[in-house]
Amino acid sequence: MMQLAITGATSGIGAEKAKVLAPKCSRIFLLVRNREKAKELVQSIDPSGNNDKFTIIHCDLADLQSVAAAASTLREATDNLDLLINNAGGIFPEKKLTKDGHELTFSANHLGHFLLTQQVMPLLTNGDGGRVISVSSEAHKGASIDRKDLELIRNFGSFKAYANAKLYNILFTKSLAEKYADKNLEAYALHPGVVNTGFGNQSKGIFKILLSLFKPLMISPAKGAKTGIFLATTKQVPGKNGDYFKKSKTASVSSQAKSKKLRDQLWEYSMEQIKEFV
């Protein structure tokens, strides 16, 4: 029985993962913005009310202080974590800066998870080996990186910011595998598929039109959760530590996703942004 922490579990593929993985876990830490939705999820998983295995922790990934507080609560609650699923994310129609001064897409999809993972690393490396699974997307292949403006604060575009963030999820995954493999840490990124959830409902322009066109072709959240569940439950994951998966198989990534120079730059930049919390 494993101990699991997951972000974004109150809806969509995150909720499906929590439901399927619950019987395999001794403890599940739900890192969420909305406590009431988390309580509803727990009730749907176990209507008996015997919910001792679930711990709900408030965590707003767009607020670094909130992330640090959530990680602190998690460290107080347990000394070991088998699995961290960085599941939450989103696309936003307009540029918005967080209270920390970061572009919202960058913070909610990458930087919040970067800080969270760093803060709980002692739990992930304090056992037989932990695993970090990050939800990326095939959208990473549409990334357009400005190395002098990684957050696109000066030249924001809604889809471009999202595509870049999904690329950062893969780069972060590869860095984790590179830096922590000697501590028995495994890290994987995945594409869940084009899932029929509330994702992108606030989008505007061409992206909103594309979403509406693809709606009939979208898969259910249950199907979208399958690759994440596969990576969470497979003892010997095929491929290499740091790989990217689609339909439960290793998949190709863009040339930018293979760039060690970009990977190292993102790591250094991200570490600089969270230095007051680590």
Map residue 247 onto helix, strand or coil.
coil
* Torsion-angle region of 196 (φ positive above 0: left; ψ -120 to 50: alpha; else: beta): beta
Residues paired with 219 in a beta bridge:
195
Give the active site residues: 162
With beta carbons less than 8 A apart as the criterion, state whether 18 and 41 touch: yes
Q: How many CB atoms lie within 10 A of CB 241?
A: 17
**Cβ neighbours for 97, distance < 8 A, ≥ 6 positions apart:** 103, 104, 153
Dmax over CA atoms of the chain, in Å, equals 53
Q: What is the rounded CA–CA span in Å between residue 230 and residue 115?
A: 25
d(CA 11, CA 72): 24
In eight-state DSSP terms, residue 90 is -
Contact 244, 253 (CB under 8 A): yes
DSSP run (H or E) holding 229: helix 226-233
